[in-house]
């Protein structure tokens, strides 16, 4: 690992705004991310991050560097530079976390619907205020908890209620997405590790991965149990952006329905703490 690695890492941490990576906004003495925030987002210990920044750690693995790049939302060129500074080969064809300007504008315009944007391998990248109000604020989620597939197959409690058939179809579609991402990005170390650990952690995921069933997302009616406004029944659509392979999830209600009224109430109530 070159001496520039720690300097680059500190520089990007200091120049990354908490809002741009979904960290909780709090009063702070200096701009940028705290070490605790970056470590949590990357799934590392704070002590190890300190060692990396100070140049005292041995050469980090490709998985660690990829996790740091993802947590900092580095562009392809910046991620390549950090890998080179760590003495690693530049990953070819890694899953992108870049947000096209058009998608950023779309997210800002869709204030009436809960909307979130995910990468091709289902890492949460952006969300709007109504998404946080409906499902809980993802800013509180750290490490793998921000990956929807990990969240789904490790049986993390959630507010969305699905029947067994609905859950089976949803899981099949998620696994099919991850398989496509793995085929298109075979050299992404973070993606390979995610698949390997899911196969070890979840027998259900392992069985679906081995079966290789083709599946796709379809518009579905989903029920959300909210602690303050009660049950909402909403349409859930998964959209894909051409050319970037990003997934956009949007929830919507029938106009002038009770569910639409509950969404309006949520907009007033504001963001809820994430349900664990």
Whether 90 is covered by a domain: the verdict is no
- Looking at the structure, do residues 105 and 241 belong to the same domain, yes or no? yes
| Bridge partners, 251 (sequence order) | 236
26 in any annotated domain: yes
* Domain's final residue, options 53, 85, 117: 85
Residues 6+ away with beta carbon under 8 Å from 39: 45, 46, 48, 49
Residues 145 and 262 in one domain: yes
pLDDT at residue 1 in the model? 55
Instruction: Examine the domain organization and report whether 240 and 112 are in the same domain.
Output: yes
How high is the pLDDT of residue 272? 53
Give the pLDDT confidence score for residue 219 in this predicted structure: 80
Q: Are residues 41 and 169 in the same domain?
A: no
Q: Are residues 219 and 143 in the same domain?
A: yes
Residue 185 lies in a domain: yes
Average pLDDT across each block of 10 residues of the chain; the chain has 276 residues. List them in order.
79 85 67 87 90 86 87 83 85 75 82 91 91 89 90 86 92 93 85 94 95 83 93 92 83 95 89 48
Do 172 and 254 share a domain, yes or no? yes
> How far apart (Å, rounded) are the C-alpha atoms in residues 247 and 269?
27
Q: Is the dihedral of CA 184, 188, 193, 196 positive or negative?
A: positive
Is 36 a member of any domain?
A: yes
Let me know whether 65 and 118 are in one domain.
Answer: no
Residue environment code for 54-73, b if the CB has 16+ CB neighbours within 10 A, otherwise e:
eeebeebebebbbbbbbbbb
The pTM of the full predicted model, rounded to 2 decimals, is 0.75
- DSSP bridge pairs for 234: 222
Q: Is 9 part of any domain?
A: yes
Q: What is the pLDDT of residue 274?
A: 47
What's the CATH number where 180 sits?
Answer: 3.30.450.180
Q: Are 149 and 180 in the same domain? A: yes
Is 263 part of any domain?
A: yes
Q: Where among 29, 55, 85 does a domain terminate?
A: 85
Task: Mark whether 70 and 202 lie in a shared domain.
Answer: no
Q: What pLDDT is recorded for position 26?
A: 65
Q: Is residue 119 part of a domain?
A: yes
Total number of domains constituting the chain: 2
**Residue range of the domain that includes 142:** 101-269
Give the number of C-alpha atoms closer than 13 A to the C-alpha of residue 199, restricted to the C-beta side: 14
Q: What is the CATH number of the domain that holds 60?
A: 1.10.260.40
d(CA 172, CA 97): 23
- The SS3 of residue 68 is helix
């Amino acid at each position: 690992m070159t001496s520039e690695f720690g300097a680059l890492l500190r520089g990007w941490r200091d120049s990354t705004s908490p809002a741009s990576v979904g960290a909780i906004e709090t009063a702070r003495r200096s701009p940028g991310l705290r070490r605790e925030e970056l470590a949590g987002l990357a799934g590392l210990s704070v002590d190890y991050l300190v060692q990396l920044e100070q140049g005292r750690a041995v050469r980090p693995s490709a998985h660690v560097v990829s996790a740091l790049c993802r947590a900092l939302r580095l562009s392809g060129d910046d991620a390549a530079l950090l890998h080179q500074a760590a003495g690693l080969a530049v990953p070819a064809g890694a899953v992108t976390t870049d947000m096209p300007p058009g998608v950023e504008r779309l997210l800002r315009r869709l204030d009436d619907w809960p909307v979130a944007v995910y990468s091709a391998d289902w890492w949460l990248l952006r969300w709007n205020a109504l998404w946080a109000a409906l499902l809980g604020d993802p800013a509180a989620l750290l490490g793998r908890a921000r990956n929807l597939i990990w969240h789904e197959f490790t049986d993390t409690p959630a507010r969305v209620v699905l029947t067994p058939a609905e859950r089976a179809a949803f899981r099949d579609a998620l696994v099919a997405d991850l398989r496509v991402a793995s085929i298109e990005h075979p050299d992404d170390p973070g993606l390979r590790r995610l698949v390997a650990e899911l196969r070890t952690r979840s027998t259900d995921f392992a069985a679906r991965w081995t079966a290789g069933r083709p599946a796709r997302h379809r518009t579905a009616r989903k029920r959300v149990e909210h602690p303050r406004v009660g049950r909402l029944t909403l349409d859930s659509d998964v959209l894909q952006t051409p050319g970037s392979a990003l997934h956009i999830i949007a929830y919507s209600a029938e106009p002038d329905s009770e569910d639409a009224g509950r969404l309006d109430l949520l907009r007033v109530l504001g963001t809820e703490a994430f349900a664990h």
